[in-house]
Amino acid sequence: MKSDNVKTGMQQAPHRSLFNALGYTKEELERPLVGVVCSYNEIVPGHMNLDKIADAVKMGIAMAGGTPIMFPAIAVCDGIAMGHIGMKYSLVTRDLIADSTEAMALAHQFDALVMIPNCDKNVPGLLMAAARINVPTIFVSGGPMLAGRVKGQKRSLSSMFEAVGSYAAGTMSEEDVCEFENKVCPTCGSCSGMYTANSMNCLTEVLGMGLRGNGTIPAVYSERIRLAKHAGMQVMELLKKNIRPRDIMTKEAILNALTVDMALGCSTNSMLHLPAIAHEIGMDFEIDFANGISEKTPNLCHLAPAGPTYMEDLNEAGGVYAVMNELNKKGLLHTECLTVTGKTVGENIEGCLNKNPEVIRPIDNPYTATGGLAVLKGNLAPDGSVVKRSAVVEEMLVHEGPARVFECEEDAITAIKSGEIHPGDVVVIRYVGPKGGPGMPEMLNPTSAIAGMGLGSSVALITDGRFSGASRGASIGHVSPEAAVCGPIALVEEGDIIKINIPNLSLNVDVPDEIMEERKAKWQPREPEVTTGYLARYAAMVTSGNRGAVLEIQK
């Protein structure tokens, strides 16, 4: 066992003395040491129940003959971090989580790992770590929040952000906003729509790294405690069979995840995280893969913010496996991929029925014949940009209008809420990419303000930053190259006509090439906003959004 390096032999007597100090018995040290990586904290609603999940996991490990040992992973709540300097620290925690987990797992020589994440960056960060460490590993998340109910309708966090915009537009009273505030987030768990946390937890099932229901069983259901116990037991089976993350997270598994992503209508952030996970297994992930897969993959689900259904509804309808079974009717999945069940994808999803065709459309009656995400290219985004096509109203799929250019999110929000943005406009927010942010902050406040002001079907937003999974509308992010490295988005001027054609996968600015070259010759880089600490180091090493914003030593 790997843990023999810290517990067996005369040279390890000092190590054993330290285990003795921890209260471990000889009998416990004779068993495999299983790291339980738990991101429990008291600031993230999706994580407040993870102590219960960890206790259940530890019980399952012990029942199956292992010795569970817990250590923490950090987590940022994107909602609480939204709209201020905290949002610069959201995406960057993905790499902190991966790095620190790698350090803990290898420093202490664990034989196996159980990862307990829940929210946006924890899931991909721990998947990246799992691929690096490559000891038998299984995932069990904290589960999604139940939807709130306001005036008889299901609601979620995106409704809350949009309510603030409606208040600014004068269409909602302060009392109405207060009612939303008290009701939209009624329980612990990852926010109840198909936002980034739930997208990544669902894709963990698809990748084969979590048991059935990991992405959809609500946080407050006792069924999730049982799932956690089974995850603890199952990691011991993985250890016996020496099934490791890189046996499971193959190129084909990544493509499966991208396929199901299209069917579910996942967050655009998955187009940052899947490339980063692929990078850890040595796969060269081009975001153009998305369009080829989207072309043949129907969109089967319209969960919030794209539609009126929520994670609890997806769970009742059969969950992720039911969606995968629908896709498999047209042979769209690599069913031979191995999973943490010890079985293949095909064996796992066999007989998993779609119990509600209103929540999961049958394969022959999809919302659209193409998938939920699209990658747009053109002279404004030569290396690509990403849009959640399934959350764009039909009249905005093709749009052109004058650019309204902002150098930061705050200025854009002020203009939107003060009525300076008009139907037909294209809001451009730049210098908020991975380097320029730094940290590629989410633009949920501007998109919510646009929707709340009643402009969601007439105004587009383009940025080199990214969007929350709670964003909807013609919101095009990850524009690459970003403004901070003189990407074309840095050269757009107020009033330039921007042309968006989502069906044709194009994003262009109607300015002659020679004019763009003249502007480029005059361009000067902006002074970095942050020059010290982790964000400065991150900005120096991070790659562009089209590469998943992975960290590399710059040559």
Check whether 26 is labelled as a binding-site residue: no
- Residue 468 has a pLDDT of 81
Q: Which residues pair with 309 in a beta bridge?
A: 303
| Predicted structure pTM score | 0.95
d(CA 344, CA 347): 5
- Average pLDDT on 531-552 reads 94
Catalytic residue, chosen from 141, 468, 471, 480, is 468
Residues 373-420: tens digit of each pLDDT = 999 999 999 999 999 998 899 999 999 999 999 999 999 999 999 999
Peptide bond preceding 438 in cis form (omega within 30 of 0)? yes
Reported as a single tens digit per residue, the pLDDT across 335-344 is: 999 999 999 9
Banded model confidence at residue 109, pLDDT cuts 50, 70, 90:
very high
What pLDDT does 168 receive? 85
Q: What torsion do the CA atoms of 501, 429, 269, 135 make, to the nearest 10 degrees?
A: 140
pLDDT in tens, 491-513: 999 999 999 999 999 999 999 99
**Which among 178, 164, 179, 151 is positioned nearest to 453, based on CA atoms?**
164
* pLDDT bracket for residue 77 (50, 70, 90): very high
User: What is the amino acid identity at position 555?
Assistant: K
- Could you give phi then psi for residue 257, rounded to 5 degrees? -60, -40
Mean pLDDT of the chain: 95
Q: Which residues pair with 402 in a beta bridge?
A: 497
Share of the chain above pLDDT 90, in %: 90
Q: Is the dihedral of CA 213, 217, 219, 223 positive or negative?
A: negative
Q: What pLDDT is stored for residue 555 in this prediction?
A: 60
Flag whether 120 is marked binding.
yes
Using one digit for the tens of pLDDT, what is the confidence trace for 409-430? 999 999 999 999 999 999 999 9
Question: How is residue 510 written in tokens?
Answer: 């109607």
Per-residue pLDDT at 193? 93
140 Cβ neighbours under 8 A, 6+ residues apart:
53, 57, 114, 115, 116, 210, 211, 214, 227, 228, 231
Q: Closest Cα to residue 446, out of 183, 197, 164? A: 164
pLDDT of residue 340: 98
Let me know: does 426 contact 411? Beta carbons within 8 Å: no
Query: Hey, which residues does 139 pair with through a beta bridge?
Result: 115, 210
pLDDT, residue 444, reads 83
Integer Cα distance of 99 and 554 in angstroms: 18
pLDDT of residue 391: 87
| pLDDT digits 0-9 by tens, 168-216 | 889 999 999 999 999 999 999 999 999 999 999 999 999 999 999 999 9
Whole-number pLDDT of residue 451? 86
Residue 165 pLDDT > 90, yes or no?
A: no
pLDDT of residue 83: 84
Q: What would the two tokens of residue 269 be?
A: 């952030």
What size, in residues, is the chain?
555
Report the half-sphere exposure of 246 (CA within 13 A, side-chain side).
11
Interval 456-496: pLDDT, tens: 899 999 999 998 877 778 999 999 999 999 999 999 999 99
What pLDDT band is residue 554 in, cutting at 50, 70 and 90?
A: low
pLDDT class of 25 with cuts at 50, 70, 90: very high
Residue 442 counted as an annotated binding residue: yes
Over 90: is that where the pLDDT of 548 sits?
A: yes
Q: Say if residues 444 and 548 touch (Cβ distance below 8 Å).
A: no
The fraction of the chain above a pLDDT of 70, given in percent, is 99
pLDDT beyond 80 at 239: yes
pLDDT value of residue 469: 72
> Average pLDDT of 15-23?
97
Question: 65-75, pLDDT tens digit by residue?
Answer: 999 999 999 99
- 385 has catalytic annotation: no
